[in-house]
């Protein structure tokens, strides 16, 4: 008994300095309340996840309310939260709202219902945002398919008073068509609100640039006096919160908002290819060089002999050095990459990530199904100068005539070609 009392006394003396707390098991992890993560640390983690992909940022914010309060709402119309690497594909009829989203940088995909598409016709993309036309109100809608954020804008019947007369002179009664959309974003703050840009074309007329900021009731026209070419000779690209155009002479222009919205020259190309027999027919297309935030801009120059417009092209690649304001000749569109260039979007695709396109490494898919040649796309290989026979539209028109609304499946390059071309609704097949 005395030994027991002495042992108990020793135990009391040993643990008295520890406030009689039980010593934790070294193998048991310490419990922490992660919801109480400091706000600045939560914001730092979220920012790093956003650098990986917007979906990672959304998942982080979904964990708990304190983490959401520590981070910015991705539903804001801010370039940080644009789904640039995502494209919308479809195997369903036009009235269906079920779609597949594909991340062209990682290969991840999401299949979901998008009721926000109901009652809308697709027009194109603006840095990953879907641009939709409301068939009932003629309004324009920007839709982020990852955050489900919707920004509704007035239709193109609403113009500022200073733009109405200029619009009449420029169009001369011809029908306007949409040639591309873009976003100019200096941070999306109240001091520098996001600006939506629309490239408009009228038959045989000088192209127009319309712009609007969310909350405004009218579209306005920017000064395009620097342009001298026709609308059908212009290629547009919205990249990293800036809007660019290329012309039929190989010039590159960008839209500046201050002091007044206008186009300014970024690069002036002094020469275009010529041949000794027939004058060359040149076209210039702008495209991103990759999918990461640091990706630059490429210009694809196509010139044909005029004798064989379908397969007689020669293609040259240039890097657009924005800071140096010059074009740098390149021998490739990127290591293990293929470009898809269409009327509403351009994509840079990794042929390692998508093996079905591996045979087209260092190649350009020209996807202009709305053109007179009636082709879905044709592929030009930069390495050997070989142009593959075009994939023609008649095949797909026959498929659309089948009973039922599903037609396919096809290879990935078919879906991507449809995705970048307005002739197929800009959302793939």
Q: Kindly report, residue by residue over 105-151, the tens digit of the pLDDT.
A: 999 999 999 999 888 888 888 999 999 989 888 889 999 999 999 99
Smallest CA-to-CA distance from 207 within 180, 184, 173 is with 180
Checking if the pLDDT of 7 tops 50, the result is no
* CA 147/CA 116 separation, integer angstroms: 12
Q: Do residues 54 and 128 share a domain?
A: no
Checking if the pLDDT of 163 tops 70, the result is no
Checking if the pLDDT of 356 tops 60, the result is yes
Checking if the pLDDT of 92 tops 70, the result is no
Give DSSP secondary structure letters for 29-48. Answer: PPP--GGG--HHHHHHHHHH
Q: Confirm whether 161 is domain-assigned.
A: no
Rounded mean pLDDT, 275-297 = 75
Checking if the pLDDT of 73 tops 90, the result is yes
Residue 273, both tokens: 């290819």
* CA 57/CA 77 separation, integer angstroms: 16
Q: Confirm whether 279 is domain-assigned.
A: yes
Residue 50, both tokens: 């956003």
pTM of the shown model: 0.81
The secondary structure of residue 14, as a DSSP letter, is H
Predicted pLDDT at 427: 46
Q: Do residues 89 and 68 share a domain?
A: no
Checking if the pLDDT of 402 tops 50, the result is no
Rounded mean pLDDT, 244-268 = 91
Smallest CA-to-CA distance from 251 within 238, 270, 279, 273 is with 270
Checking if the pLDDT of 324 tops 80, the result is yes
Q: Do residues 47 and 101 share a domain?
A: no
Q: Identify whether the C-beta of residue 392 lies closer than 8 Å to the C-beta of residue 374.
A: yes
- Mean pLDDT, the chain, rounded, equals 78
Q: Do residues 41 and 116 share a domain?
A: no
Predicted pLDDT at 306: 52
Q: Kindly report, residue by residue over 9-64, the tens digit of the pLDDT.
A: 444 444 344 443 455 556 666 777 888 889 999 999 999 999 999 999 999 999 99
Q: How confident is the model at residue 376 (pLDDT cuts 50, 70, 90)?
A: confident
Q: How confident is the model at residue 274 (pLDDT cuts 50, 70, 90)?
A: very low
Predicted pLDDT at 10: 43
Predicted pLDDT at 338: 94
Q: Do residues 334 and 292 share a domain?
A: yes
Q: Kindly report, residue by residue over 94-105, the tens digit of the pLDDT.
A: 456 888 899 999
Predicted pLDDT at 343: 82
Q: Identify whether the C-beta of residue 230 lies closer than 8 Å to the C-beta of residue 204.
A: yes
Residue 300, both tokens: 């694809």
Checking if the pLDDT of 153 tops 70, the result is yes
Say which residues have a Cβ less than 8 Å from residue 407's Cβ, sequence separation at least 6.
Answer: 91, 396, 399, 400, 429
The secondary structure of residue 402, as a DSSP letter, is S
Which domain-ending residue is among 113, 136, 153? 153
Q: Confirm whether 12 is domain-assigned.
A: no
How many separate domains does the chain show?
A: 3
Q: Do residues 283 and 385 share a domain?
A: yes
**What angle separates helix 54-61 from helix 39-52, to the nearest 10 degrees?**
150
* CA 35/CA 14 separation, integer angstroms: 36
Checking if the pLDDT of 360 tops 90, the result is no
Q: Which domain holds residue 332?
A: 271-429
Q: Confirm whether 373 is domain-assigned.
A: yes
- Location of structure tokens 């945002």: 129
Which domain-ending residue is among 136, 153, 170? 153
Q: For 172-325, where are the E strands, in sequence order?
A: 176-184, 195-202, 208-212, 220-221, 235-239, 242-246, 252-256, 262-267, 281-288, 297-304, 314-321
Predicted pLDDT at 244: 95
Q: Confirm whether 365 is domain-assigned.
A: yes
């Amino acid at each position: 008994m005395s030994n027991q009392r002495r042992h108990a006394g020793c135990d009391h003396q040993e643990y008295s300095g520890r406030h009689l707390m039980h010593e934790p098991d070294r193998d048991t992890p310490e419990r922490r309340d992660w919801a109480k993560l400091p706000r600045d640390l939560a914001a730092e983690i979220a920012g790093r996840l956003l650098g990986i992909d917007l979906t990672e940022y959304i998942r982080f914010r979904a964990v708990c309310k304190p983490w959401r309060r520590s981070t910015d709402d991705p539903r804001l119309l801010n370039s940080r939260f644009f789904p640039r690497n995502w494209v919308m594909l479809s195997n369903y009829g036009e009235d269906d709202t079920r779609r597949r989203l594909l991340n062209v940088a990682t290969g991840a995909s999401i299949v979901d219902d998008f009721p926000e598409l109901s009652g809308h016709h697709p027009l194109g993309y603006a840095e990953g945002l879907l641009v939709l036309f409301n068939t009932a109100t003629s309004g324009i809608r920007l839709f982020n398919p990852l955050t489900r954020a919707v920004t509704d804008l007035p239709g193109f019947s609403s113009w500022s008073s200073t733009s109405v007369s200029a619009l009449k002179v420029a169009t001369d009664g011809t029908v306007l068509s949409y040639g591309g959309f873009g976003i100019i974003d200096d941070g999306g703050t109240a001091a520098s609100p996001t600006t939506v840009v629309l490239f408009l074309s009228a038959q045989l007329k000088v192209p127009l640039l319309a712009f609007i900021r969310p909350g405004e009731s009218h579209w306005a026209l920017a000064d395009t006096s620097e342009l001298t070419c026709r609308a059908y000779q212009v290629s547009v690209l919205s990249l990293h919160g800036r809007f660019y155009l290329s012309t039929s002479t190989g010039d590159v222009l960008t839209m500046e908002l201050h002091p007044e919205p206008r186009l300014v020259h970024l690069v002036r190309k002094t020469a275009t290819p010529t041949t000794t027999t027939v004058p060359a027919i040149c076209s210039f297309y702008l495209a991103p060089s990759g999918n990461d935030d640091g990706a630059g801009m490429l210009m694809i120059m196509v010139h044909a002999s005029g004798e064989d417009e379908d397969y007689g092209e020669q293609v040259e690649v240039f890097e657009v050095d924005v800071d140096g304001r010059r074009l740098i000749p390149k021998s490739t569109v990127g290591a293990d990459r293929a470009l898809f260039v269409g009327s509403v979007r351009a994509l840079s695709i990794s042929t390692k990530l998508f093996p079905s396109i591996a045979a087209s490494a260092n190649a350009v898919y020209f996807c202009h199904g709305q053109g007179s040649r009636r082709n879905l796309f044709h592929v030009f290989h930069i390495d050997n100068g070989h142009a593959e026979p075009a994939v023609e539209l008649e095949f797909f028109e026959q498929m659309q005539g089948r009973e039922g609304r599903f037609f396919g499946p096809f290879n990935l390059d078919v879906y991507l070609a449809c995705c970048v071309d307005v002739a197929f609704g800009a959302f793939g097949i």
